[in-house]
Amino acid sequence: MTEQQPWQWGEQTWRRHVERVRAGRSLRPAAWPGGARVAVALSFDSDHETIPLRDGETRPGKLAQGEYGSRVGAPRVLRLLERYRIPASFFMPAVSALLHPGEVRDYVAAGHEVALHGWIHERNMSLDPADERELALRAADTLERLAGTRPVGIRTPSWDFSDHTLAITRELGLRYDSSLMADDEPYELLADGEPTGIVEIPVEWIRDDAPYLMMERYGALRPYTPPRDVAGIWRDEFDAAREDGGLFQLTMHPHIIGHRSRMAALTELLDHIDGHGDVWYATHAQVADYVLEQS
């Protein structure tokens, strides 16, 4: 039997695809802790060398770009977070954590969260389900060993959430995922229409440094927005989130945002956010726990 084209699918088929993983009830709380008007959840995906490695790209020239993230970017990010006393979440592929165990210890010592981000930044959609599961379990064990506590959240590498990711997330007993985009505010994930108790902390490419600032020498990819313009977009996102009494979530990468001119723009944004005084800074795990408890 030849495979049906999507336009030939019966209603059951397209409904089944859509229902597999779906947004359930909104978990936006009536109020944030301490009377804050907006929650700010900053995250950094410490991918470093795993971006080229996952594609089998082993040239020192490519790897050095990732190495910058650990050697320069991450310490700079940590200093900035310390200055504003902001707890953040660091999503780290296990191979990156094994390459930089001291960095994991620095995150933990500063009170930040370390959470799952794959084994070697693998593309889940191209893996067998058994391989995706095995890599996720191995990554959880590795992060637990290096960070001293077991991770409670996951961000799939490249937000590549497969048909099997939710089942693996449940098997691992994780409390939240941060890879999906069905809302601005936290929500509960449904699996085939059933509530899972797992919180989604939604992401968006708009609130990610990579699409604006990445550069590929031999490809067509070029940075298309100056860093201060990126900060301007994020400032509008924050202002509107505050207006809504909601969540402002950001995804950044030490090897991308960690450069001097970009840190200047991020600093300007944090000055703006911090100037309001009615902000609750929290890790993704803290946001997930709080919104579930309030629901």
Contact positions vs Zn ion (CB under 5 A): 45, 47
- 41/49 Cα distance (integer angstroms): 25
Nearer to Zn ion, 38 or 120 (CB): 120
Nearer to Zn ion, 29 or 93 (CB): 93
Q: How far apart are CB 182 and Zn ion at their closest, in Å?
A: 20
Q: How far apart are CB 47 and Zn ion at their closest, in Å?
A: 4
198 by DSSP, 3-state: which?
A: strand
Nearer to Zn ion, 32 or 176 (CB): 176
Nearer to Zn ion, 108 or 214 (CB): 214
Q: How far apart are CB 121 and Zn ion at their closest, in Å?
A: 6
Residue nearest to Zn ion (CB): 45
Q: How far is CA 272 from CA 41, 101, 257, 275, 283, in A?
A: 15, 33, 18, 5, 19
First to last CA, the chain: 47
Nearer to Zn ion, 47 or 103 (CB): 47
Q: How far apart are CB 236 and Zn ion at their closest, in Å?
A: 25
Nearer to Zn ion, 47 or 237 (CB): 47
Q: How far apart are CB 112 and Zn ion at their closest, in Å?
A: 16
Structure tokens at 42: 């900053």
Nearer to Zn ion, 132 or 188 (CB): 132
- 262/256 Cα distance (integer angstroms): 8
- 122/168 Cα distance (integer angstroms): 15
Kindly report the backbone phi and psi dihedral angles of residue 92, in degrees, each rounded to the nearest multiple of 5, phi listed first.
Answer: -135, 120
- 216/208 Cα distance (integer angstroms): 17
Instruction: State CA 97 to chain mean position distance.
Output: 16
Which amino acid type is present at position 3?
E
Q: How far apart are CB 104 and Zn ion at their closest, in Å?
A: 16
Q: How far apart are CB 88 and Zn ion at their closest, in Å?
A: 15
Please spell the DSSP secondary structure of 38-68, one letter per residue.
Answer: EEEEEEEE--TTHHHHTTT---HHHHHHHHH
Which amino acid type is present at position 7?
W
